Amino acid sequence: MTHTTFRVGHLTCHALEAGSQHLDGGAMFGVVPKPLWERRIRADARNRIPLALRCLLVEHPDGLVLIDTGLGNKEDAKFRDIYGVQNEGATGRTRLEDALAELRYEPEDIRWVINTHLHFDHAGGNTYREPVERAPDGPTVRPSDRPTLVSFPRATYVVQHGELEFARHTNERTAASYLPHNFEPVAFRTIDGAAELLPGVRCLPTPVLPRRCGADERAPAAPLDHGVRPATARDARVEAPAVSPGRGGGLAAVLRARSGGGGGPARARGEGVRSCGSVTGGLS
C-alpha cells in the first residue's frame, strides 16, 4: 500500500508514501543525547536514521491539491548514497507517481502544488528528468544534461515569497538543501503571509523548523514523521509569526474541517490536519 486515506470534514485526503531517505540522527534530534534517541530508532553505521518522504493529496472540489512532492528523480548516484535515498518507482518516475497511480490519478490531474518549503526532500519532485531508458536520445546524453521538466504541468505551484528568495540566495550552510533545479524551472504563485488558498485550505507562514510549523508547540511531537500528522482545532487556529526579511520561511498548509462545502465555521470537534516541513541539513 502506497497511501493512507482519511477524511477531514468534507475533504478526502491521502498520505502518499513517496519513498525514504537517511539523514544524520544527531542533526534530526538536535540537543537530545544519542543514547536517548537511539531508544526510539537505531542509527546505521553512518549515524543516519530513516525518514519517510510523505506527501499529502487532498481531493478538493476545486481540484486535486498536492502538498510537497518528495525528492524526485534528478539526483546522481553519489547524492543518493550520501542521503540513503530509496524512492525509485515501480511504474512511475518515483514512488510518488506510483502512489498517485494507485489512486487512479496521473500527474496531469494535479491542479495545485503547495511547497511547505524548498528543501530537496520536499520540493525535489517539483521537476523531473527523463531516465535513460525513456529518453529519445538514449544513453548519448548524460542524465545531468537532460532538460529539467515540470512534473505537474497543469498545476499552480504555491510557495511563500520569502522562502523562494531565501532559496535563491544560499550560503555555505544552506546551499546543500536548496537545489536550483527543483524550483527555478517552476513558475510559482507566491504568497506573502497567511492566505486562504482554497476554501478549507489555509497556508500559514512559518520558519523552517519542525517545532514552529504553525502549530501549538505543546502538541505531541512526531520527530520521525517527515510530513503529515493530525492537528487539533487549536492547531488550525494558531497563526505563526511571519518570518523576518532575509530569513528562510516555509509554510504550514492547514486543512480545516467544515460543516459544509466551502465556508462556515469549523466543526465543534474541529479536527484538522497540518502538513509542514521539517529541517534538512546538508551532509558531506
Top CATH class of 3-196 equals: alpha beta
pLDDT score, position 146: 75
80 phi, psi to nearest 5 deg: -65, -30
**CA 35 to CA 27: how far, in whole Å?**
14
3-state secondary structure of 72: coil
Listed as ranges, residues in the chain with pLDDT below 70 are 132-144, 208-249, 256-284
DSSP code, position 264:
S
Domains in the chain: boundaries: 3-196
Residues 6+ apart with CB under 8 A from 213: 116, 206, 240, 250, 252, 274, 276, 277, 278
pLDDT score, position 102: 96
pLDDT score, position 142: 64
pLDDT score, position 132: 62
pLDDT score, position 282: 31
**Which of 2, 6, 17, 25 has its CA nearest to residue 70?**
17
3-state secondary structure of 28: helix
**CA 156 to CA 134: how far, in whole Å?**
26
